[in-house]
Amino acid sequence: MVGSPTPVVSAEHLSKTYGSDRGVVELDFEVEAGEVFGYLGPNGAGKTTTIRLMLDLIRPSSGRVRLFGLDARREGPQARARVGYLPGDLRLYERLTPREHLRYFASLRGMRDLGDGEQLAERLDLELDRPIKALSKGNRQKVGLVQALMHRPALAVFDEPTSGLDPLVQQVVYELVRETTADGRTVFVSSHVLSEVQHIADRVALIRDGRLELVDTVETLRQRALTRVEVTFGETPPAGTFDAVQGVREVGRNGRVVHLTLEGSADPLVKALARYEVHGLDSHEADLEDVFLELYRGTPGAP
């Protein structure tokens, strides 16, 4: 469409094979400016391969990917100058300190100073002057986060960003992500931890065995998911009791506890339960994990 904003990331029929092994197959997606795009899937699904193709660290077997409208291969240096990247397999120079690392990255980017580096390090509680070899996995991850954000990139690409971080630091990372997009910039975050992505992402893509299963907003996916209900009875009702209840399906029993799924209004279920002695009732609001499990349940190779 004439006049439409250029996507920050655009993948078109993007495929990568390794001999007879599959990498990713016919990927088509776009990431818009100012959004958090969650890229989700189990380990080995093709998340890291996709990121490496985006950043021209590996070359596609077919198809193409663009960053800011620029071809990631032919115009890669120009595109990557606007990107901050935290790899999932972060490697650092053991003998350097975090400050020396940041100075090195700053020089590669043509920066005169550390940019936002010291401020980010303070927020993440990262000590800058201890040798890398003396740092824990979590503190090394903080170094990676700081170098990815210190130059205020137009696109931040995170591969498993909270790996090794304690819950308090994870919350700081989520704050940094929200601040990045509030500034009009974009975040692409790859993760197998659905619970963390659903709190920060605007849209998500689910990838399985190298193929995109869906791309949609978090809210729409939540609405698609089934609510899970756990009912503890005084005396367990007969099998098949809930078969005729609209929107309800029984998925398991454990003694007096019956596990149900609910689609749509809870009113039919509440009326059905009123005929029995109920000692406990626990409902689990739909989230991305439910979507993920429903998507893969009963399919070949499902986790």
Please report the pLDDT score of residue 293 as a whole number.
Answer: 66
Q: How confident is the model at residue 172 (pLDDT cuts 50, 70, 90)?
A: very high
Specify the length of the chain in residues.
303
Of 167, 192, 218, the domain-final residue? 218
Total domains present in the chain: 2
Please report the pLDDT score of residue 4 as a whole number.
Answer: 53
Task: Tally the C-alpha atoms within 13 A of residue 288's C-alpha that lie toward its C-beta.
Answer: 26
Instruction: Give the residue among 153, 127, 165 at the shortest CA–CA distance from 55.
Output: 153
Q: How confident is the model at residue 146 (pLDDT cuts 50, 70, 90)?
A: very high
pLDDT tens per residue across span 26-76? 999 999 999 999 998 888 889 999 999 999 999 999 999 999 999 999 999
**192 and 274 together in one domain:** no
Asked if residue 293 belongs to a domain, the reply is no
Residue 131 domain boundaries:
9-218
| Cα separation, 79 vs 13, whole angstroms | 20
CA distances from 189 to 202, 216, 257 (A): 11, 15, 38
pTM comes to: 0.81
Burial (CB count within 10 angstroms: exposed 0-12, middle 13-18, buried 19+), residue 52: middle
36 contact partners, CB below 8 Å, separation of at least 6: 177, 178, 181, 186, 187, 189, 200, 201, 202, 203
Give the number of other CB atoms < 10 A from CB of residue 270: 12
**213 and 231 together in one domain:** no
Burial (CB count within 10 angstroms: exposed 0-12, middle 13-18, buried 19+), residue 268: middle
* Position with higher pLDDT, 156 vs 219: 156
**41 and 180 together in one domain:** yes
Please report the pLDDT score of residue 241 as a whole number.
Answer: 92
Please report the pLDDT score of residue 286 as a whole number.
Answer: 62
| Cα separation, 241 vs 273, whole angstroms | 10
**120 and 31 together in one domain:** yes
Asked if residue 269 belongs to a domain, the reply is yes
**123 and 30 together in one domain:** yes
**What is the CATH number for 240?**
3.30.70
pLDDT tens per residue across span 70-113? 999 999 999 999 999 999 989 999 999 999 999 999 999 999 99
